[in-house]
Structure 1
């Protein structure tokens, strides 16, 4: 698998995330990712896949991660199916999954332009939410169009649950999106954190007691209206659910690696538990509090023609989201009620934690023994 990390395209085209992985301080992360790649079945040609990994990074990384998740859950795949991306054999049936990512708009700042405040600060909730809704809408409609043109004419796909798996890299603060953008896009449930949208009516609450307002359409920067609440009718009943994550990036590899050689790191995880948030911190050589599945959300379509099996991805770390407008708790979050839901992750080198993370030493440390 060394060829994946040997530069084979023009230096100017190399993705910054790929270049970071080549640095010696990412040795542990590179080794972990290599083990995932070894279990990844390439369907689109080795050269094309590796070139794409080095140039665009996230699209291939997202598929490699999804493959690792499905493999670790024991789901067998039909390797004869080239498209959609995954055909999982579950309970003597099939589940088809098409992977896609949401990228930063051409007119927006690129990830390489991130500042320390972008990475470690508490950034504008509304800016993150509103931009993500637009970018995720584009990803959704792109794959929906592909389904109508191609997959709807394929009987085995049409007769099975069909899922979109969206990796959110929609703007430079994507790691702070949490589960909010898709709530608005799919269910019309807008999280008005500071109660500034007086034009919106109250819709209801989620399991954490957070209040949502009803959003019928979303206004883009150019004034155009986007229809939201895509799962509020049977129009998209052929899409059973959406698998989503905004925290699947290099920090995922760092968090899952217990040792970081040759340089030690610190990691801060923010989790939502009941009606409050809490932070935990750890250093290298301490057991991780994050598992492979943390940060994954599965949004179920209440109008799906083909429902997912109840036990599908029912594991600690995965949060299942369902919507019922007739209920007082309109958004149900099936999750690990002991550990809570991963909201955000911050990673950097040991020794600079006080500079980057506010009140770092006041955070709750990991209660694990050092080796």
Structure 2
């Protein structure tokens, strides 16, 4: 029986803001996309739909990963409720989903005004990196203390899927924080000077949490996390992804997207009305491999023409296999009738 995502299980006053919005009549095409993602999905612990309706983002990300696994053509063994996905196929592996949440007392990644984007991208990137590291570490501890004890997990590569929902405008992070968190590659926005053709970058081993504490980064730069084979990451698997994929050509929405522009500090910027805009499920997705993994995930197993796959050469250079028009950022402006 197909899972019913939208029949309310809780009072409207307790529903997440995005779930309330997607439940409106005008967002039928967006609901259709989410329903397609969920085809074949099973609520194995009996809490999934309720969590989707109350907290939304973590459950939404889990459905996105489920849709991505189907796009990869990888079968899933749904007999197990943990980790989130026990993936079969040519190289069986386990995939656990998590999101980078706001710090205690921090603003959520929804309900903010687009009129005030981040002013200081150095602080923004550092804070986003720290939130990713926190979520990564929590899942590794869960894997070591619990998941690893299960027979269906042992001797399989372990992959963590991370999405950024850690602050307003979290989608502005692009790949900066995940590259810093995993490989210690820090892009220094503040060091950029007029006439530069790229943002200066260098290797770091820690990021400042506060004036007295640093948090280790470069999590894939030694054997400390060799039990993690790879990370699947996106900051664009959001409400905007549903809107981009929805079959609603008459929607009065303008899409502004940013893409790489080699040799220039300024990216390629494109604008299109909804009726002219096209986006793929996998656009904006990263697959990042751990060169120290005890059980490496073969490069290409999670490859796709629309995503960015990151591996590490023997000399330590990052090799980023991505389409020329890889989606770095998407912004949507909509006209609401009076």
Q: Compute the TM-score of the two structures, normalised by the length of structure 1.
A: 0.82
Distance 1:10 1:176 in 2: 33
Cα deviation, 1:80-126, whole Å, max 9, x if unaligned, reads 222111111121x31110111111122222334512224xx464311
In structure 1, what is the equivalent of residue 315 of structure 2?
Answer: 326
The answer to whether the 8 Å contact 1:128/1:176 transfers is no
The answer to whether the 8 Å contact 1:128/1:173 transfers is no
Whether 2:18 is the aligned partner of 1:33: answer no
Distance 1:301 1:317 in 2: 21
Q: 1:126 aligns with which of 118, 122, 126?
A: 122
The answer to whether the 8 Å contact 2:108/2:165 transfers is no
Tell me the CA shift for residue 324 of structure 1.
Answer: 4.5
In structure 2, what is the equivalent of residue 266 of structure 1?
Answer: 254
Whether 2:177 is the aligned partner of 1:188: answer no
The 5 Å alignment of 1:277-288 reads 277-288=267-278
Whether 2:230 is the aligned partner of 1:241: answer yes
* CA RMSD of superposed structures (Å): 2.3
In structure 1, what is the equivalent of residue 170 of structure 2?
Answer: 174
Q: 1:102 aligns with which of 87, 100, 103?
A: 100
Distance 1:62 1:164 in 2: 12
Q: Compute the TM-score of the two structures, normalised by the length of structure 2.
A: 0.90
In structure 2, what is the equivalent of residue 297 of structure 1?
Answer: 286
Structure that is richer in strand per residue = 1
The answer to whether the 8 Å contact 1:245/1:296 transfers is yes
Tell me the CA shift for residue 325 of structure 1.
Answer: 7.9
SS in 1 for 2:231: strand
The 5 Å alignment of 1:1-371 reads 3-45=4-46, 48-91=47-90, 93-118=91-116, 121=117, 123-195=119-191, 210-221=199-210, 223-260=212-249, 263-276=251-264, 277-288=267-278, 290-324=279-313, 326=315, 330-337=317-324, 340-350=325-335
Count of aligned residue pairs for this structure pair: 330
Distance 1:244 1:259 in 2: 27
Tell me the CA shift for residue 280 of structure 1.
Answer: 1.7
Where do 5+ consecutive residues of structure 1 fail to align?
197-207, 353-371
Cα deviation, 1:289-345, whole Å, max 9, x if unaligned, reads x21101111111110111112221211221012235835xx32211113xx221111
SS in 2 for 1:274: coil
Distance 1:111 1:164 in 2: 21
SS in 2 for 1:38: coil
Identify if the C-alpha distance between structure 1 residues 236 and 287 changes in structure 2 by more than 3 Å, giving closer, same or farther.
same
Distance 2:291 2:16 in 1: 39
Identify if the C-alpha distance between structure 1 residues 107 and 275 changes in structure 2 by more than 3 Å, giving closer, same or farther.
farther
